[in-house]
Amino acid sequence: MSRIVLLLFAFLLTGCETIHYRLVPPPSDAGRLCVTQCAGIREMCIGREQQQANFQQHQCERREDHEYDHCMSQAGNDRDKRKKCERSRSYCSSYAHTDRCENDYRGCFTHCGGMVIQEVEQW
């Protein structure tokens, strides 16, 4: 019990922080055109990540439905076994990991002549 209290206390002492990025566009027209291309690449990357997350979600749901149907068919009319099947169902959740897309975009933005300023907000 005291270990949990110490961990909680340590967490409260460290605080939390949020990182924001302020983007200063490049001064030249060519640089701004380059940033527009970076944005297009970022959108394609985000689209791929969302598509992958949707696919994983769909696969998980299909697998869970199959396992549930199999369990229910094995349970037959036994109410206890059927309740066990209900309780054993898992929730499917998938997340689009777009951090890489954003990191790549900031790198591209800088390559085009823009500036990326990292601002850390602690609370």
User: What would the pLDDT profile of 49-107 be if each residue is shown by its tens digit?
Assistant: 999 999 999 999 999 999 999 999 999 999 999 999 999 989 899 999 999 999 999 99
Q: How far, in Å, CA of 104 to CA of 87, rounded? A: 42
Would you tell me how many other CB atoms lie within 10 Å of the CB of residue 64?
Answer: 15
Domain ranges of the chain: 13-122
Q: What pLDDT is stored for residue 12 in this prediction? A: 56
Instruction: Enumerate residues 6+ apart whose C-beta is below 8 A from 68.
Output: 85, 88, 89
Reported as a single tens digit per residue, the pLDDT across 8-60 is 555 555 668 899 999 999 999 999 999 999 999 999 999 999 999 999 999 99
Angle (CA) 97 13 1, round 5°: 90
Q: What pLDDT is stored for residue 16 in this prediction? A: 81
Q: What pLDDT is stored for residue 6 in this prediction? A: 60
| Cβ neighbourhood burial of 53 (10 Å; 0-12, 13-18, 19+) | middle
Would you tell me how many other CB atoms lie within 10 Å of the CB of residue 103?
Answer: 12
Helices (H), the chain: 2-14, 29-75, 79-88, 99-111
Evaluate whether 123 touches 16 at the Cβ level (below 8 Å): yes
Closest CA relative to residue 40, chosen from 91, 112, 97, 89: 112
